[in-house]
A and B are shown apart, each in its own frame.
Chain A
Amino acid sequence: MSRDELLQALRARFPGVALEEAPSMPVLKPVLGEFRPLMEALRHEPGLAFDYPLSQTALDQMEKGLIVSVYHLFSSAHRQSLCVKVDLDRAHPSIPTVSDLWRGCEWFERETFDFFGVAFEGHPDLRRIMLTDDWVGWPLRKDYQDPRMVPRPVF
């Protein structure tokens, strides 16, 4: 399957979902309500069959009041990659888990929870993964402050 065929297939299958063409891979931007059925379709439908999780992470867009959950997927059958982005409310970021669709996402989501405080509903083991369990705050958010952080000198 070529990149153009993938774009066509995505447009035909998800007509209402925003689709962008980016240099490295196409980007699907569903709203939160259509996210879980869309991911199930991406994983299981033979025409798409995205069976390999490349990464899952988040972006903090503080000025817009958003945290964006970002998924990079790969299809071993069609040899194509795809990015999925979902906007979440920064005050209470919460999204259904996809760790049952891609087992590797279980740890990716734990990492995102650890650093951004995104709650993954239905996750089997949502604990901090890198930091200690009693850590306070979400370090990769842009407004995170820690008394031990030293500002870089400006020359």
Chain B
Amino acid sequence: MPQASPNPKPAPDTTLKTDEYLINMGPQHPSTHGVLRLVLRLDGETVLEVVPHVGYIHRSMEKMAENDSYPQIIHLTDRQDYLSAMLCNWAFCLAVERLMGIQVPPRAEALRVIVGELNRVASHLLWYGAYGMDLGAVTAFFWGFREREEIIDIFEELCGQRLTYNYVRIGGVAEDIPKGFAERVREVVSRVRAKMPEYHGLLAENVIFQQRTRGIGKLDTATALSYGCSGPVLRSTGFRYDLRKDEPYGIYPSLKFEVPVGSTGDCWDRYLVRMAEMRESLGLVEQALGALPEGPVLAKLPRVLKPPAGEVYSRLETARGDMGVYLVSDGGPKPLRCKFRSACFSNLSVLPALAPGWKVADVISILGSLDLVIPDVDR
């Protein structure tokens, strides 16, 4: 594989006398993947400062959640990180289950791992395609979407929806799997796995892609931690921390998987970590399918859920990182407070620390490598 040398940070040119100026990137910019506005202060093409402006699609989900019963809140989580909606559903349900001490049936736990990990693969595939396109490689977009489509079809067959699933419910999952589901999933898993070297070859062995990612936007572990970064962005700095291993939930302790980490925390490492994560997720789906127990998929629960007065802070690893749900209950049917801590919010907040010193084109590369979903930032 040809290797481009890592890019050094460009030294500021002091010979030319230039004026600083401001430029608005967004709110309608193809590489922001949603409605995000960045105000760039530039000297020539060099970025001096980035000020992100968020909130364009704020939908007051936390206020809505205070007026909804617990099962009614699940569909709101679908619309936060809509690319890994299964995992967002799961994150909220996990919080309610911990608050109420609900035991989830083993079959439902296994199904959650299957749909959750498939969703992680689908989300990373979309990111792979979109990141390629951000950097000018349009083919990656078609290839990523081709296999993602098959996973989305599986979800459509399972719960009738392609993006907003509302499938994971408090105490289990909504429905048992249809006939022939396991075979279809196995087939798709093996097809995606067979395509992985192709994906990697298309982008990673391209010198242009390497030039635009290697050494760009380096993040060190201490900064990442201080900003509250999580998921692949944190792991790419070399810090091995995955909630599935370190604060385990569900049946993850009984499954075998690795937590891939990077070493330098640049865009290239973030790319490598996500690609390696896809391979691990495919393995997890197969393991969960292989040991799928029989039985009910939903725990027996009262018609109206009234958690005891108290509070819980629960965390779950979505495709983008740590999704925290802080629930406070007063014993009634609606929560007193429901705070969603989204991974993208914190991952975006690190951008003003990452981008200065790089060129405008590198901001696109850095932004893409953070894998932001703007509705998850704005909630």
Q: Which residues of A contact B268 (CB under 8 A)?
A: none
Q: Which residues of A contact B311 (CB under 8 A)?
A: 22, 24
Asked if A83 CB lies within 8 Å of chain B CBs, one says: yes
Asked if A102 CB lies within 8 Å of chain B CBs, one says: yes
| Contact among B227, B312, B339 for A103, CB-based, below 8 A | B227
| Contact among B226, B310, B322, B378 for A54, CB-based, below 8 A | B322
Q: Which residues of A contact B353 (CB under 8 A)?
A: 103
Asked if B346 CB lies within 8 Å of chain A CBs, one says: yes
Known: A54-B313, A55-B341, A104-B349. A72 touches B324 (CB 8 A): yes
The reply to whether A131 and B98 contact each other, CB–CB distance below 8 Å, is no
Asked if B315 CB lies within 8 Å of chain A CBs, one says: yes
Asked if B246 CB lies within 8 Å of chain A CBs, one says: yes
How many angstroms between the C-alpha atoms of A72 and B341 in the bound complex?
Answer: 11
Asked if B213 CB lies within 8 Å of chain A CBs, one says: no
Asked if A37 CB lies within 8 Å of chain B CBs, one says: no
The reply to whether A152 and B226 contact each other, CB–CB distance below 8 Å, is no
How many angstroms between the C-alpha atoms of A140 and B66 in the bound complex?
Answer: 9
How many angstroms between the C-alpha atoms of A103 and B58 in the bound complex?
Answer: 23
The reply to whether B228 and A51 contact each other, CB–CB distance below 8 Å, is no
Known: A76-B241, A152-B67. A104 touches B226 (CB 8 A): yes
B58: nearest residue on chain A (CB-CB)?
Answer: A130
The tally of residues in A whose CB lies under 8 Å from a CB in B reads 32
A83: nearest residue on chain B (CB-CB)?
Answer: B313
For the residues of B in contact with A, the DSSP-based class is mixed
Known: A24-B312, A107-B345, A131-B55. A55 touches B226 (CB 8 A): no
Asked if A70 CB lies within 8 Å of chain B CBs, one says: yes
How many angstroms between the C-alpha atoms of A57 and B336 in the bound complex?
Answer: 13
Asked if B222 CB lies within 8 Å of chain A CBs, one says: yes
Interface size class of B (residues with CB under 8 A): 35 or more
The reply to whether B324 and A130 contact each other, CB–CB distance below 8 Å, is no
- For B217-247 the 0/1 string (1 means CB < 8 A from A) is 0000011011111000000000101000010
B56: nearest residue on chain A (CB-CB)?
Answer: A130
The reply to whether A104 and B67 contact each other, CB–CB distance below 8 Å, is no
CB distance from A61 to the nearest CB of B (A): 9
The reply to whether A79 and B246 contact each other, CB–CB distance below 8 Å, is yes
The reply to whether A130 and B55 contact each other, CB–CB distance below 8 Å, is yes
Which A residues fall within an 8 A CB radius of B?
22-25, 51-55, 57, 59-60, 70, 72, 76, 79, 81, 83, 102-104, 106-108, 115, 128-131, 139-140, 152
Task: Show 20 A/B contacts (Cβ-Cβ < 8 Å), sorted by A.
Answer: A23-B312, A51-B225, A51-B226, A52-B226, A57-B337, A59-B328, A70-B326, A72-B324, A72-B326, A76-B241, A102-B226, A102-B228, A104-B228, A104-B346, A104-B349, A128-B55, A130-B379, A140-B62, A140-B66, A152-B67
Query: Closest 6 A-B residue pairs measured CB to CB?
Result: A104-B228, A130-B55, A130-B58, A55-B341, A104-B227, A107-B349
Other 18 A-B pairs with CB < 8 A, given A72-B326, A129-B55 = A23-B98, A24-B98, A51-B222, A53-B228, A54-B228, A55-B326, A55-B339, A57-B326, A59-B336, A60-B337, A72-B313, A104-B346, A107-B346, A130-B54, A130-B55, A130-B378, A139-B63, A152-B67
